[in-house]
Amino acid sequence: MSRPTNPLISIIVPVYNEQASITAFISKITPLLAPYRYELLFINDGSTDNTEQLICAEQEKSSFITLINFSRNFGKEAALTAGFDHMSGDIGISMDGDLQHPPELISVLIEKWREGYDVVYTVREKRDDESWIKRFATRIFYLVFNKLSQLSLPEDASDFRLLDKKAVAALNKLRERSRFMKGLFSWVGYKSIGVTYMPDERHGGASNWGFTRLFNFALDGITAFSSLPLRIWSYVGIIFALGAFIYGGILIAQTIIFGKDLPGYASLMVAIFFFGGIQLFSLGVIGEYVGRIFNESKNRPLYLVDTILTSEIIDTND
C-alpha cells in the first residue's frame, strides 16, 4: 500500500495541570519533529494551574501549536476524542505531555506506518515504577476484559499510538458517552502492530490516576464492551433456584420419612443474608448497565470547547 511521501503528522496531547512538564515537552519534541510536516494539538482538559498560559507563551514563539480549551474538565478520554476530531493530518499520534511517553519513538511509529500498518500501538515493557497491588490489578483487568469481551486487548498497551487517517475516520464515528479508548482503538480494527518501550520518568507533578479512578475506568471498559456480566447472573439465578429446589425436596423427605426437625433459626438467617447479598450484588451489576443506558439516552455532547487557538502548520521541508 502506497503512503504519502510527505505526510502531515498531528501530535495529539491531552493536558490537565501539566505546568511542571509542558515547556520541557515542547522543547524536547520540537527537534525530533523537524524532518516532518506536523502540528501539535494540545487539548486543555480544564486545567486549573498555568498550563494554558505556558502553552500560549510557546505558541507566541512558534507557529506549529494549536490549543483547544475545554469549558471544564471532561476527562482524558474526551480530550483524546477532541484531538482526533480536530486533527487535520494524514497521521494522528496521541501521547501524554509528561514525557513518560518517549518522543524519540515517534520516528519508529511512522516507519511502521510506512510499512503498511494503519495502527501502531506501544506496549510498556515493565511496570517496576508501580506498586505490586497496581501491577496485580492491571493483570487481572486485562485477563477479565479479554475473557468477557469479544475483543483482544493488548496487555499493557498505552494511549501512545499512531492511527492512519482512515482509522481516525472510523474512530470518530463512535460517539458513545462512556468511552474506553483502548477498547475503541481495538474495535475499529485495521492492520495493527505493537512496539515496546520503556517509560521515562515523569518530568514533574504527580499522576491524577488514583486507585478509585482506575477501578471506575476498568469498570467502564468491561461494561462498554461486554454484556456477559448480565448473562452470568441469569446462570447464577438458575443454579441457586435449582439448588434450593433440590435442598427443599431433601428437607421434606427427611421430615416425612425420619421425622427430622426443620433447620433452626441460625441457618435460616445465614441463608437470608447470603441470598440477600447475592440479590443486591446482581442488582448493582444491572444498575451499572442501566446507568450507562441513561447517560446515552441524554445524548449530551462528549465535550464542550471554550476556545481554539489555531496556528499555521510548519513545513520544515520548504
Contact 15, 43 (CB under 8 A): yes
CA distance 15 to 49: 11
pLDDT for position 315: 45
pLDDT for position 313: 46
Output the nine-digit C-alpha cell for 194: 505493537
CA distance 178 to 175: 9
Contact 21, 95 (CB under 8 A): no
pLDDT for position 183: 77
pTM: 0.69
Contact 89, 10 (CB under 8 A): yes
8-210+302-315, superfamily in CATH? Spore Coat Polysaccharide Biosynthesis Protein SpsA; Chain A (3.90.550.10)
For the chain, domain boundaries = 8-210+302-315, 228-298
pLDDT for position 262: 54
Could you tell me the mean pLDDT of each successive run of 10 residues in the chain, 318 residues long? 78 88 86 86 88 84 84 87 88 86 87 87 72 68 68 76 89 82 81 80 56 60 61 66 68 65 56 69 74 76 85 48
- Identify the three-state secondary structure at position 225: helix
